[in-house]
Structure 1
Amino acid sequence: MPPPLTPEQLAALPHDDAGPRINGVVWSLTAISGIFLALRLYCKATRSKFWWDDWVLVAAWLAIFVNSVLVSLCINLGVGKHTWDFPLENLVEMVRIYTAAGTLAVCASIWSKTSFALTILRLAKGTAWLRGFVWFLIISLNVFMGLTGLFNYIHCWPVNKLWDFASEGTCWPVDILINYDIFSAVYSGVVDVILALIPWKIVWGLQMRKKEKVGVVIAMSMGVFAGVTSFIKAYYMPRMTAPDIYDMIDLNYWSNAESTVTIIAASIPVLRVFFNDVKKSVSSKQHYASSSGRSEASKRSKLQQSGATTLVDDSELSWEGKMRILQTRQIEVQVDEVETKPYGGGKFSL
């Protein structure tokens, strides 16, 4: 154990506190992903129906939300400060809470990626080999990343040895734990990239306009960014053994980003359908107003000459010395789903 620092040595050291910054980043990502998820659920509720991928994604967001709460509690205990500024009386409580937060981050990552994989399964109907491959990715991802969450608790025995360093017990060599966590994070990123590429094969076999195909596959390929966050998290894993706990703060960012970015990426394809509907609706109303404006003058002229009652743009008009609207009706036609001939049969819908 190194000798205690003198006041002069301690004053010369940095005394940063990254706690507020960690809180800002973690809660911003959690809130943004929550907005995307809420919009996704609204689109599903108004245009389709909920399926397993929606419920699993909700579970993922709830897990990352609780994770953010626990991270904030750890910040109140001293996380974000340098080792020499950390209040040692909070160490046991901080490690206990931080372990639970890490496990929830792993669960959120597993469930968010599983949700997107389940969405891919819906699109791969009638393609047995592709469905089998996606199921392999789902099962292997849950096993490998699930072990990461399990190892958080069983790498020391008895369990209280995890946070009570003075108690009797044994722990695995820290290199084993870190190396496995790196492998798990890298595998998670690889799965994200593969799942982002699979829609290109599925959608490219559909009878759709090329521009529409490109839009769909780009929207469904946002999972690549989730893969990038997994690779970056793997890069920061070795810092878990850094002498200064301040060097571990980046792991808080990327552990949260891995799940929140996946939730956002999984929601974008559904939101694309929603925004396309809004765009078409606005465009149709503008075209309708433009067309009716050009023809209204001629229709009114004919109406004045005949003194008759007719329908103009579905509005019932009458001539009684002046033009008067008696009744207005607006008809809106909305297409919820377009049936096409897909890759392997069935319908293309999210």
Structure 2
Amino acid sequence: MSAVPEMSPDVAQEDKGPAILAICSTLTALATLFVAARLYVRVNILSRAGLDDWLIVISMICVYVTLGLTVAAVSSGNGRHFPLLTTEQKSGAILYTIAGFCPGVFSFGIPKLAVVALLTRITNPTRKHRIFLWTMTIGCLVLLFGCVIILFAQCSPSRSQWDFSVQGTCWSPWVLIYYSIVAGGLSATTDFYLAIYPAVVLYSLQINLKKKLALGFALGLGSVAGGVAIYKCTRLPGLASQDFSYDTSDITIWTSIEGNSIIIGACIPTLQPLFDRFIAKGFFSSNDPQSNKKSTGYGSHTLATPKIELATIGSGARRTTKSYKKMGISDMTMGQDSEESILNSERNENSEEHVLENHNGILRTQHVAVEYGA
């Protein structure tokens, strides 16, 4: 072993381990709360858990595994300067850091599939667009998993990376770095697309600006993960550093940030029922109590329009056939507006009507109250 290089006392005492544990554990706890709230809404309130919910649960399991391996890596010396570690600490820091990359990749790759499952259900895109969305996200996940394959295949035998008693031959570490940068760029691009697509759909909905911005914000939080992925790419050269345990600390931190942020972003759009129940009931509703009051010659005529909910964006507002096709939304979403069918029927004018539509498992209720003055 080479002699330990001279370092100033300040440099020798540098330790990112506490910061790694604090950031990763805090974000994991926060993501756990959002996932628990999501499952409460889908199971207890809506009584329907979907594919996207199971994918989020799998993603959260990956986050827990990553956190466990991160704790083991820090206990072995990860976060401290590599030359100051003992041989046993160096071996443990490398082993647990490398092992944590695999579930770490899945922690921010699988949630993209959950986002697509949610978007295809609420926006009901055309068949071609649905195929494109799934192909893009699955291809991104496969490309990201390629980083793990290269990580373990770059040395032969693979254990020579962390077991200093084993002699092996390795590729240049820049093979993994360049590949990871490309994969990270595609991951960021996917996140941005999945954030922009629902915003484009929302743009054509006939709801007021406040609610449109709120819905767009809830569905567009995946862009945060895209920004994190871009920044993490700038830290990847640390994989080739001689000070491995110290310089890869940032990669560990930003991997946790990326995984937890996309999980949180995928959960927020599903929490509207919880938000309405405990915080601001009807905030996302498209109806305006004042604007919906229309006077007639016979008295007051009040129409309560349906709520545009995060679970029914694809069927909750009027759009023209042309605008639907521009957005890639299929004709299945376009049907006769239930308000028009109510107004065109000349029956039950003195009673309250409940119109229920069941479209692809989505239930929508309209209440129409007609009052006549004396």
Unaligned runs of 5+ in 2: 284-307, 319-328, 334-358, 364-374
- Matched residue, 2:27: 29
Q: CA distance change for structure 1 residues 244 and 161 in 2, over 3 Å: closer, same or farther?
A: closer
Change over 3 Å in CA distance of 1:243–1:157 after alignment to 2: closer
Check whether the contact 1:63–1:107 (CA below 8 A) recurs between aligned residues.
Answer: yes
Contact 1:124 1:130 in 2 (8 A): no
Q: Deviations over 1:14-72 (max 9, x none)?
A: 32122111110110011011111111111111232111111111111111111111111
Distance in 2 separating the partners of 1:347 and 1:215: 25
When structure 1 is superposed on structure 2, of 82-91 and 257-266 the one drifting more is 82-91
2:194 partner amino acid:
L
Aligned-pair CA distance for 1:78: 0.8
In the superposition, relative to structure 1, how do residues 47 and 171 fare at CA in structure 2: closer, same or farther (>3 Å)?
Answer: same
User: Following the alignment from structure 1 to structure 2, what is the Cα–Cα distance between the partners of residues 10 and 58?
Assistant: 46
1:156 and 1:170 in contact (8 A); partners too: yes
Q: Which amino acid aligns with 1:31?
A: A
| Mapping of residues 43-58 of structure 1, within 5 Å | 43-48=41-46, 49-58=48-57
Distance 1:12 1:26 in 2: 25
Q: Deviations over 1:261-293 (max 9, x none)?
A: 00110011112342134345599xxxxxxxxxx
Relative distance call for 1:174 and 1:54 in structure 2 (3 A) is same
Match of 2:16, as an amino acid? Answer: A
Cα distance in 1 for partners of 2:93, 2:154 equals: 18
What do the CA deviations read for 1:236-274 (whole angstroms, capped 9, x no partner)?
101222232323221121010110000110011112342
1:238 aligns with 2:214: no
Distance 1:123 1:54 in 2: 14
Q: Which residue of 2 aligns with 1:289?
A: none
Alignment of 1:200-279 (within 5 A): 200-206=199-205, 208-245=207-244, 246-279=246-279
Structure 2: distance between partners of 1:214 and 1:10: 52
Q: If you compute each CA radius of gyration, which structure gives the higher value, 1 or 2?
A: 1
Query: 2:110 aligns to what?
Result: 111
Partner residue in 1 for 2:156: 157
Describe the superposition over 1:276-334 as per-residue Cα deviations: whole angstroms up to 9, x where unpaired: 34345599xxxxxxxxxxxxxxxxxxxxxxxxxxxxxxxxxxxxxxxxxxxxxxxxxxx
Cα distance change, pair 128–204 in 1 and its aligned pair in 2 (3 A): farther
State the alpha-carbon separation in 1 of the partners of residues 63 and 18 from structure 2.
18
Q: Structure 2: which amino acid aligns with 1:97?
A: Y
**Cα distance in structure 2, aligned partners of 1:282 and 1:208:** 13
Counterpart position of 1:307: none
TM-score by length of 2: 0.72
2:316 corresponds to which residue?
340
Q: Is the 2:173–2:239 Cα contact (8 Å) retained in structure 1?
A: no
Distance in 2 (CA, whole Å) between partners of 1:259 and 1:121 is: 22
In structure 2, relative to structure 1, the CA distance for the partners of 1:214 and 1:100 (3 Å cut) is same
Partner-residue secondary structure (3-state), 2:131: helix
AA aligned to 1:80 is: G
Letter aligned with residue 262 of structure 2: T
AA aligned opposite 1:23: L
Q: Using the TM superposition, give the Cα deviation of residue 136 of structure 1 relative to its aligned residue in structure 2, in angstroms.
A: 2.1
Conserved in 2, the CA contact under 8 Å of 1:123 and 1:349?
A: no
**Matching residue of 1:288:** none
Report percent identity of matched pairs: 25
Q: Is the 8 A contact 1:207 1:340 kept in 2?
A: no
Question: What does residue 76 of structure 1 align with?
Answer: 75
The letter of the residue matching 2:276 is N
SS of 2:29's partner is helix
Residue of structure 2 in register with 1:197 after alignment:
196
1:92 aligns with 2:91: yes
Q: Distance in 2 between matches of 1:280 and 1:173?
A: 56
The aligned amino acid for 1:116 is V
Partner of 2:345: none
User: Could you say which residue in structure 2 is the equivalent of 1:286?
Assistant: none
Q: Is the 8 A contact 1:161 1:167 kept in 2?
A: yes
Q: Counterpart of 1:71 in structure 2: which amino acid?
A: T
* Residue 2 of structure 1: how far off its partner (Å): 5.6
Q: Which moved more, 1:261-270 or 1:46-55?
A: 46-55
CA separation in 2, counterparts of 1:89 and 1:161? 14
Aligned mates of 1:137, 1:196 — CA distance in 2: 14
Instruction: Say what the alpha-carbon RMSD is for the aligned residues.
Output: 2.8
Residue identity matched to 1:119: L
Q: How many aligned positions are there?
A: 298
Residue 329 of structure 1 is matched in structure 2 by: none
Task: Determine the C-alpha separation between the residues in 1 that align with 2:153 and 2:274.
Answer: 45
More helix by percentage: 1
The residue number in structure 2 matching 1:291 is none
Q: Is the 8 A contact 1:123 1:348 kept in 2?
A: no
